[in-house]
Amino acid sequence: MKMRRFNFNYKTFIFGFLALPLVFLFVTSCFEITGNDQPNSVAAGSTQTFTLDVKFDTEGENEPNNKRLYFGICAPKNWEVGKNATVTFDSPIDGPKPGKGTMTLDLNDLSQGGFTKGRGTDGNQTTKSYAEVAGEVLGFDENYGLMEWTMFFSDPVKANPHPGADGTISIQLKIGDGATAAKLGYWVGYHNKGFSNEEHKAGTGTPGGTFRHYDHEWKKITVTGASADATDLTGPAPTYTATVAAGADGYTFDDIITIGFDAKLGYLGANTALYNAGEVYMCATALLGDGTTVSKCDNSASTKMTLSGADTWSKTIWPPAYFGVSNQIITEIHLNFQNADGSIVVQNPGYGTDMVFGEKCQ
Pair 90, 211 in one domain: yes
Reference 6, options 116, 114, 85, 105; nearest CA is 85
Local structure of 26: helix, strand or coil: helix
Local structure of 9: helix, strand or coil: coil
| Lowest pLDDT segment from 9-13, 134-138, 238-242, 331-335 | 9-13
> So what's the pLDDT on residue 211?
64
Local structure of 115: helix, strand or coil: helix
Give the residue, 203 or 280, on which the prediction is more confident.
280
Local structure of 282: helix, strand or coil: strand
CB 291 within 8 A of CB 342: no
Pair 240, 220 in one domain: no
> So what's the pLDDT on residue 187?
95
* Structure confidence by residue, pLDDT tens digits, 89-109: 898 877 777 888 999 999 998
* Structure confidence by residue, pLDDT tens digits, 60-96: 444 555 778 899 999 999 999 999 999 998 988 777 7
Rounded to an integer, the average pLDDT of 28-54 is 89
Rounded to an integer, the average pLDDT of 192-212 is 59
Measured distance CA(157)–CA(171) in Å, rounded: 20
Reference 51, options 140, 172, 135, 174; nearest CA is 172
**Mean pLDDT, the chain, whole residue set:** 83
Pair 202, 243 in one domain: no
> So what's the pLDDT on residue 60?
42
Pair 251, 347 in one domain: yes
> So what's the pLDDT on residue 227?
82
Measured distance CA(63)–CA(29) in Å, rounded: 9
| Lowest pLDDT segment from 15-29, 182-196, 278-292 | 15-29
Task: Establish if 334 belongs to a structural domain.
Answer: yes
CB 304 within 8 A of CB 279: yes
Rounded to an integer, the average pLDDT of 191-210 is 59
Reference 186, options 45, 7, 20, 1; nearest CA is 20
Helices of type H across the chain:
10-27, 81-84, 130-137, 319-323
Contacts of 316 (CB under 8 A, 6+ apart): 256, 257, 258, 259
Local structure of 250: helix, strand or coil: strand
> So what's the pLDDT on residue 327?
87
Residue 162 pLDDT greater than 60, yes or no: no
The count of structural domains within the chain is: 2
Task: Establish if 4 belongs to a structural domain.
Answer: no
Pair 216, 261 in one domain: no
Q: What is the DSSP letter of 16?
A: H
Q: pLDDT-based confidence at 189, cuts 50/70/90?
A: confident
Measured distance CA(99)–CA(199) in Å, rounded: 26
> So what's the pLDDT on residue 7?
37
Give the residue, 121 or 227, on which the prediction is more confident.
121
> So what's the pLDDT on residue 157?
78
Q: Decide the pairing of beta strands 125-129 and 117-119.
A: antiparallel
Local structure of 79: helix, strand or coil: helix
Measured distance CA(211)–CA(278) in Å, rounded: 62
Which CATH number belongs to the domain containing residue 169 in this structure? 2.60.40
> So what's the pLDDT on residue 160?
56
| Residue 248 belongs to domain spanning | 236-361
Measured distance CA(16)–CA(170) in Å, rounded: 7
What are the distances in angstroms from CA 213 to CA 131, 157, 198? 17, 16, 8
* Structure confidence by residue, pLDDT tens digits, 212-227: 788 999 999 999 998 8
Q: How many CB atoms are closer than 10 A to CB 98?
A: 17
> So what's the pLDDT on residue 198?
65
Pair 61, 132 in one domain: yes
> So what's the pLDDT on residue 65?
59
Task: Establish if 296 belongs to a structural domain.
Answer: yes
